[in-house]
Structure 1
């Protein structure tokens, strides 16, 4: 279902997901979609301790090479070069430690943002479920003070205003609509969409879930941050 959701009308989106705006999906269908699309959560990773993060900095071929070179220069009594080499090892390790520790903290905060409850319509009834249980096509209800539990296309908006600072950095709430928007509309201006982790400030609305888990916009951010952990430090890039 790779669609540009903000360019489709309400009826087109509903038809695409085979859902009903008033009765929602059946529980049997929800289970099928959870198996197909996965649960609505970011990848769970056990956070590393600071000691573990520090030790991980030494598990690099570059560090092995530098340490061997440093030991060799010591054996040859070339103390100046040895100091330079071990200094490089120290700086690389410290820089890598702080970079990875900061990234781990950001990922932890993102996970906290996405652990929320959701109000949905299923089998014609309104119920509260864990955000992880949502599936594409679910009909979610949005009330003041709630965090948006998944990315969705609005099908109803009654003076709905959503603070999207956690995603776009803009502190002024976005006034939501249901009308179709142009394809090239920037993310921050897609007023007919709601995004996981953003906060409903005023009004109420109803949306159909379009993306869950890592396919949400906040999920993509988490993946980018996780990918940054694998990048080499500037010193490693310079050496290699």
Structure 2
């Protein structure tokens, strides 16, 4: 696998387990442990979406749940389409099918980008003062029947799935003495301290593996040893 933008070392990747996935119908490769964002960047893919109103090109700007641009749709068969997932949180797997959003007919050539030319005329909230009439068929008729549907079609994010979801979902309840939100170095240290006191501890984190920023650290030391060894 040739990935000119893949850095050496670092990251929780298993480079012995390559993975194939598609983004907008194009096949790419990654490794187990990659997020969609890291795999796309490693393959030199920078354009991942379009802005909400002006359809300006957007790339990846973060590494976690705060990502505002790289919102994608993931398809897993009939009724199993999920829009608006952050590429920085989607773990790749063999056969993953991903599509970009808010563009037509394609991400690289988006007709909606013409909105950018009118940006000086359509500032924030312009529609509240512009599309007020006529009220030929009742109050606010033109807005609700003509203008709002057109604006919603031109702007927005991912499309909601139309087929019923065939999956069933279970709930799980747990109880603890101490709940720690965040499994970075501080959260894990707090969990160790609480656990040593005899408390029942639950650690919650949004990532698939504990460690937080420690997973990417190469020179940091904690309690006299390397951060990686401390994490292990």
Q: TM-score range by the shorter chain?
A: under 0.3
Larger Rg: 1
Relative contact order higher in (CA < 8 Å, ≥ 6 apart): 1
Provide the TM-score with structure 2 as the length reference.
Answer: 0.24
Provide the TM-score with structure 1 as the length reference.
Answer: 0.23
The answer to which structure has the higher helix fraction is 1
